[in-house]
Structure 1
Amino acid sequence: MALTRLLVAGFRNIQHAELLLDSKVNLFCGPNGAGKTSLLEAVHMLATGRSFRSRQHRSVIQHSSRGLTVFAELETGYSLGIERLTDGSGRARINQRPAESSSQLASCLPLQLINSNSFDVLDGGPGVRRRLLDWTVFHVEPMFAREWKNYQIALRQRNALLRRGKIAVDAITVWEEQLAHSGERVNILREGRFQEFQSAVSALLCELPGGLPGPVEIGYRRGWRKETDLCTALQESREGDVSLGHTRIGPHRADVRFTLAGEPAQHILSRGQQKMLVCAVRTAMAELVSRHRTQPVFLVDDLPAELDETNQQVFAHWISRSASQVLVTGIEEGMTIRPWQRLEAPWNHPRVFHVEHGNINAEPSAAL
C-alpha cells in the first residue's frame, strides 16, 4: 500500500511540496523546525483525517494560506486527498469521490506512527493500549468498525439516561440490550485476534540482542467480569452507574497489560527496553494486518533520537519484514541512513530528501 506521489500545500511551514517517493525507504533529513515532522503529520492526516500533534485543523494550516491540501497516489492505483479550510470546512476524497468517513480513509491507507509519544504507551491509560489492539482488529475484521460504532451510539444514549437520574426501566433496557449485543461482538472480535497479536509480540522480543530480564506477559481484560454476560452485568451495575452518571463497564473499559513476573513492565524494563517493547508491539500489529490484508506504511519520526544504533538496526529489520514502505526523519543524514543501508535489497537504497525552511528536495542521485 505504498505511496508513489505525495503533494502537500499550506501545511504548517510547507507552502508547497510535490514528491515522488521510493517504494520502500524514504529519509527526510534536516535541522529541527525544518518541516520534517510536518510532512509525516500531513501523511497521517491523509490516512486518518486528523493531525497527530493537534486536534485543531486551523493550527495546522499555514498562516498565509486559506487552507491546506494533502494528496497522494498509491501503488494500488488509488488516490487519496484531503482539504481543510480556515473557516472550518473541508473535504476528503478517495479516487476523486467524497469519502464517507475518516475510517474509510484509514481503511485505504493502514498507517503506523512511531514518534516520541508512542513510547508512553506503557505508562498511559487503558485507552491508549486498547487502541493498539483496536487498530489491528479494525484492519483485519471488516465487521469491527460497524459494531464499534453501534456500541458507541448505544453507550452515549445510556449515559444520557443515566445523567437524568430518574430512569424508566423500559427506556434504559432498550439501550442496554443494544449495548450488550454490539459489545459482546466487539469483544469476540478482539479476543479472536488477541492470541495472534500476543504470539507475534513474543516472537519479536526473542530477537532482541541481549534479551530482556524475563518473558513479557501480555494480558487482555475485556471490561467486565468473565463470570457474566454483558447484558446482565449492565443491569447489575445500573444503580451505581446512575450515581456516577456514566457506564462503568463494557468494552470501552477494556485494557491490554504488559507485565514481567506479575509486575508492570515499565517498573522492570529500562527505558531503552521499554522502547523496543513498544516497537515490537507496533511491528506485531503491522504483521497481523499484513497476513490478513495488506502491508501498512510506517511513519517514523527522528529514529536516531529515540533508539541507539543497535536497536535502530533491529527495528529497521522488523519494518522491512512487515511494512510496505517507511518514511523516516532524522537530523543527521549519516546516522539516519545507516540502519537501512545494512538491510537487503530493495530496502538498502533509501531515497533521501533534504528539508529546510519547509522546502523539501530529493538528493540529485535519488531523483527520478
Structure 2
Amino acid sequence: MALNRLVLSNFRNIVSVDLQLAPAVNLFCGANGSGKTSLLEAVHMLASGRSFRSRQSQTVIRHEADVLAVFARLAGGTTLGVEKRRDGQGRIRINQSPAESSSQLASCLPLQVINSESFAALDGGPGVRRQLLDWTVFHVEHGFALQWKVYQTALKQRNALLRRGKIDSKSLDPWEQQLVKSGEAVDMLRREVFSRLNVQFQRRLLDLPESVFGALQLHYRGGWKKELSLGEALQASREGDLAQGFTRVGPHRADLRFVIHGQPAHAVLSRGQQKMAVCALRTAMASVVEGAQKAVFLVDDLPSELDEGNQALFAHWVSACASQVLVTGIEHSVTARPWLQLPEPWNAPKMFHVEHGVVTAAEN
C-alpha cells in the first residue's frame, strides 16, 4: 500500500517535514549526512515501530527534542502514527486509535528494505534468512503470527525447565505437546509459502547469466531431521537438550539454504553476484505477498551497491511487484537513471533534494 503523505518531526537531524509522495517512484538526493536515510528510517518505523539502524529509539530523537513523531496516510486512506519519547515511552496509532502491537503496523504496510545490510542473507546466520521467510509467511498466512507466538511461549517454558537440570518428563510433556502442535502448524505454513517463493525466485534467476546462476538452488530446512516428526525429534533430543540447557530442534532452528552444486552459494558467488541473488529473493518475496497487499520498497543508495545494468534489472523487478519505492542517492541523474527506462508510472519519479535535514521538492 503506497504512502500518499509522510510527516516527520524531530527525527534525527530533521526538525519537521510534510511530504506529498508520488504513487510510484520517489527519489531523495543529497550529500552524505544530509538526512536522506533518515526518511527511509521513519517509514520503517511506521511499519515496525522501530528504526532499521537502531533498536534504541532515544538515539533517533533529535538531540534538542524530547519526542519524535512520524505520521503517514496510505493510498487507501488508512493513517499510521508512531510517537517515541526520550523516557522510553511511546504510542502507536492506526486510524487515530491505539494499536495493540507493532505487528498491526506491519499488516498495514508491507515493507522491503534494500541497503548495505540487506545483502547478508547468503553469508549471514540462519536467523537472518528465517526472518525473510517469516516476513513472507506473515503477510500471506494470517494465522501464522498467532501460531508462532504460541510456539515461542512454549519454547521459552521448555528452555526454562531444561536449565534447571534434573527434571522429570511429566514437567516437560505439556510444553512439548504445545511445541509439537504449534510448531508443526508453523512448519506447514512455512513450507506452503516457501514453495510459492521458490517459484518466483527461480523466475528471476532466468534474467541473470545462466553460467553463474543456472545452478543456484534455494532449499528450506525445517529445523529437525525430515525423517522424524517434531515430537519424535524432541524426544530424541531431550537428553542432549538437558545437557545444553536449551531446545536444539524445532522451527526456531529453520533455515533457507542457497546452494550451487552442493556448495554454499556465498562460497561460489562474487559479492556482486550475491547482491543480485538477494535482490531476486526480496522481490520474489514481494511478488508472493502481492496478492494480499503490494509492498513498499525502501532503497538506500542503490548506485553504490549495484552496477548500472543490475540497477536497471532490479528496478524492473521492483516495478513488477511493488506499490511504491523510495530511493536515496547522491546525484539526481544517476539515481533516476534505472527508473527512467521503465513504463509509466515508474518512469516519472518525483524528486526531492535533502540538505541539512531540510527536504524540498526538486524540479524534474
TM-score (norm 1): 0.97
State the partner residue of 1:60: 60
Residue aligning to 1:356: 355
Counterpart check, 1:107 vs 2:104:
no
Greater shift in the superposed pair: 125-134 or 225-234: 225-234
Structure-2 residue corresponding to 1:280: 280
AA at the equivalent of 2:47: A
Q: 1:242 Cα shift?
A: 1.1
Unaligned runs of 5+ in 2: none
Q: Is the 8 A contact 1:112 1:297 kept in 2?
A: yes
What corresponds to 2:306 in structure 1? 307
Q: Does the CA contact (< 8 Å) of 1:115 and 1:302 recur in 2?
A: yes
Distance 1:338 1:210, change over 3 A: farther
| 2:212 alignment counterpart | 212
User: Residue in 2 aligned with 1:167?
Assistant: 167
Give the residue type in structure 2 aligned to 1:114: I
Which range is displaced more, 12-21 or 212-221? Answer: 212-221
User: Which residue of the partner structure matches residue 332 of structure 2?
Assistant: 333
Q: CA deviation at 1:248?
A: 0.3
More displaced 10-residue stretch of structure 1: 310-319 or 262-271? 262-271
Query: Aligned partner of 1:309: which letter?
Result: E
Q: State the secondary structure of the residue aligned to 2:62.
A: coil
Could you tell me whether the CA contact under 8 Å between 2:205 and 2:214 is conserved in 1? no
Partner of 1:236: 236
Alpha-carbon offset, residue 209 of structure 1:
5.3
For 2:309 and 2:102, the matched residues in 1 are separated by: 37
What corresponds to 2:267 in structure 1? 267
Q: How far has the Cα of 1:267 moved from its partner? A: 1.3
- Structure 1, residues 319-364: CA drift from partner, whole Å, max 9, x if none? 0000000000001111100111111111100000000111111114
Query: Which amino acid in structure 2 is aligned with residue 363 of structure 1?
Result: A
Corresponding position of 2:247? 247
CA distance in 2, matches of 1:210, 1:313: 18
Q: Which amino acid aligns with 2:333?
A: G
Partner Cα separation in structure 2 for residue 202 and residue 211 of structure 1: 14
Gaps of 5+ in 1: none
- Other-structure match for 2:92: 92
Instruction: Decide whether the 8 Å contact of 1:214 with 1:261 is kept in 2.
Output: no
1:244-275, CA deviations, whole angstroms, 9 ceiling, x for partnerless residues?
11100000000100011111111111211111
Contact 1:45 1:51 survives alignment (8 Å): yes
Whole-angstrom CA distance in 1 between matches of 2:19 and 2:327 = 15
Which residue number corresponds to residue 119 of structure 2? 119
Q: Deviations over 1:287-326 (max 9, x none)?
A: 00003x0110000000010000100000001100000000
- Asked whether the equivalents of residues 28 and 330 of structure 1 are also in contact (C-alpha less than 8 Å), the reply is yes
Two-structure CA RMSD over aligned residues (Å): 1.0
What secondary structure, in the 3-state scheme, does the structure 2 residue paired with 1:335 have? helix
Partner-residue secondary structure (3-state), 2:63: coil
Structure 1 distance, partners of 2:294, 2:202, is 20
- Three-state SS of the structure 2 residue aligned to 1:241 is helix
**Match of residue 44 from structure 1:** 44
Q: CA deviation at 1:234?
A: 1.0
Q: CA deviation at 1:211?
A: 5.6
The letter of the residue matching 2:27 is L
CA distance in 2, matches of 1:102, 1:37: 21
Deviations 1:120-161 (A, max 9, x none): 111100010111111100000011000000000000010111
Shift of 1:168: 3.2
The aligned counterpart of 1:178 is 178
Matches within 5 A, 1:67-82: 67-82=67-82
Judge conservation of contact 1:218–1:259 (CA < 8 Å) in 2: yes
> Is contact 1:205–1:211 with CA below 8 Å preserved after alignment?
no
Kindly state the Cα deviation for residue 172 of structure 1 after the two structures are TM-superposed.
1.2
